């Protein structure tokens, strides 16, 4: 019986917070933590899914797939959209495992989607262009799971490249790998407070961004400048939301230039500015995330730090000197517990390859 395995990394958002649904630009990186799968083809139409650490199995028929409000909706959704797109898949069974921390905003959902998709291409011997694979995985999350995400997470998991950041233009759906300076690594610290975007805050922020775009007379905030915003008349809270998005787009473009000039210090300053804007303008940070950023920023060898992902809990990312990584991680965990009583968990991450060789 044909068998195959796959691995898809999680991703960390470096800059470009909430810019995706505003048609903007974002800078991310694949990391060396992710989701693994071992699968084999079946002789019938049945799909059987198991996951390490989760008791029991979930099954379905490849010809009649429906969501069941469990972790398995992500791989089931991928199977459905790939089959619906005309690719030759039939029944299979797969066991998943992960070393990605859940609820940290590192996109475990996209990792399991991409991991499933890549495994299916190997199991049933067909090819899908990388960007099309990302779009299919996004479609599974949008239409099958029912989460209105952009393309960033799937693109990051697929297009990651060792020691390169990923520059995504969300409107044009173009991807570029930008070399990252040597001698630095990413420290991701989970606050111990679960990242939760299912509540009203996320939809409220989207609505406020769209309201700002209408007032500014542009189709999306991607097309607005800080100068336009400064002259505009709109409610203060809406203006602050727009200031965050417009500022983030500007910071991403500056950051790409910094990377091309190996300017780690400049990049770190942009990360710090991004977090300040999350506090003051977008209000998607928390006291715990702020404490982590403050503690990280006080450590020698840290160039910059900010919340990563949607906010409202989850994790921060810090750009740190590689040779100080272990010492910084221990110091941050210790001081964070002393200050807040929460057990923060530090992950020492390298910028890694994506799921698909290219």
Q: Which of 314, 197, 304 is nearest to 259 (CA)?
A: 304
Q: CB-based contacts of 19: which residues, under 8 Å, 6+ apart?
A: 25, 26, 170, 222, 245, 248, 249, 252
Alpha helix stretches (DSSP H) within the chain: 73-84, 108-123, 130-139, 152-159, 200-216, 226-231, 236-260, 264-277, 287-297, 325-340
Instruction: Return d(Cα 234, Cα 242) in angstroms, integer.
Output: 10
Q: Which of 8, 22, 10 is nearest to 317 (CA)?
A: 10
Dig out the tokens for 208 from the structure: 């406020």
Q: CB-based contacts of 323: which residues, under 8 Å, 6+ apart?
A: 183, 301
DSSP assignments along 277-329, one per residue: HIIIII----HHHHHHHHHHHTSTTEEEEEEETT-SSSEEEEEEEGGGHHHHH
Instruction: Return d(Cα 288, Cα 191) in angstroms, integer.
Output: 6
**Cβ atoms < 10 Å from Cβ of 290:** 16
Within its chain, how far is the Cα of 217 from the centroid?
30
Instruction: Return d(Cα 220, Cα 249) in angstroms, integer.
Output: 12
Return the H-helix or E-strand segment holding 61. strand 54-61
Catalytic residue numbers, as ranges: 153
Helix (H, G, I), strand (E, B) or coil at 15: strand
DSSP assignments along 123-173, one per residue: HTT----HHHHHHHHHHIIIIII-----SHHHHHHHH-BTTEEEEEETTTT
């Amino acid at each position: 019986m044909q068998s195959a395995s796959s691995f898809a990394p999680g991703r960390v958002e470096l800059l470009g917070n909430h810019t995706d649904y505003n048609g903007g630009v974002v800078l991310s990186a694949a990391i060396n933590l992710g989701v693994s799968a071992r699968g084999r083809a079946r002789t019938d139409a049945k799909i059987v899914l198991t996951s390490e650490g989760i008791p029991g199995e979930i099954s379905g028929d490849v010809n009649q797939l429906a969501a069941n409000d469990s972790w398995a909706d992500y791989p089931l959704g991928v199977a459905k959209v790939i089959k619906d797109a005309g690719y030759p898949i039939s029944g299979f069974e797969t066991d998943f495992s992960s070393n990605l921390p859940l609820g940290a905003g590192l996109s475990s959902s996209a990792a399991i989607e991409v991991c499933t998709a890549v495994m299916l291409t190997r199991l049933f011997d067909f090819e899908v262009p990388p960007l099309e694979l990302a779009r299919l995985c996004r479609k599974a999350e949008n239409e099958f799971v029912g989460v209105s995400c952009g393309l960033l997470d799937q693109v990051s998991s697929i297009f990651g490249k060792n020691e390169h950041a990923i520059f995504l233009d969300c409107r044009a759906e173009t991807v570029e790998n930008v070399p990252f300076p040597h001698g630095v690594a990413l420290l991701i610290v989970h606050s111990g407070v679960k990242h939760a975007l299912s509540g009203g805050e996320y939809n409220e922020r989207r609505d406020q961004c769209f309201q700002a775009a209408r007032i500014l007379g542009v189709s999306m905030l991607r097309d607005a400048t800080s100068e336009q915003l400064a002259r505009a008349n709109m409610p203060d809270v809406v203006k602050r939301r727009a200031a965050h998005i417009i500022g983030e787009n500007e910071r991403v473009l500056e950051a790409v230039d910094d990377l091309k000039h190996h300017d780690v210090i400049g990049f770190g300053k942009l990360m710090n500015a991004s977090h300040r804007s999350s506090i003051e303008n977008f209000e998607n940070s928390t006291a715990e995330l702020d404490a982590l950023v403050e503690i990280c920023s006080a450590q020698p060898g840290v160039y910059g730090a900010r919340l990563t992902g949607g906010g409202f809990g989850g994790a921060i990312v810090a750009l740190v000197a590689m040779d100080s990584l272990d010492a910084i991680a221990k110091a941050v965990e210790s001081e964070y517990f002393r200050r807040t009583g929460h057990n923060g968990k530090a992950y020492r991450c390298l910028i890694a390859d994506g799921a698909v060789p290219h």
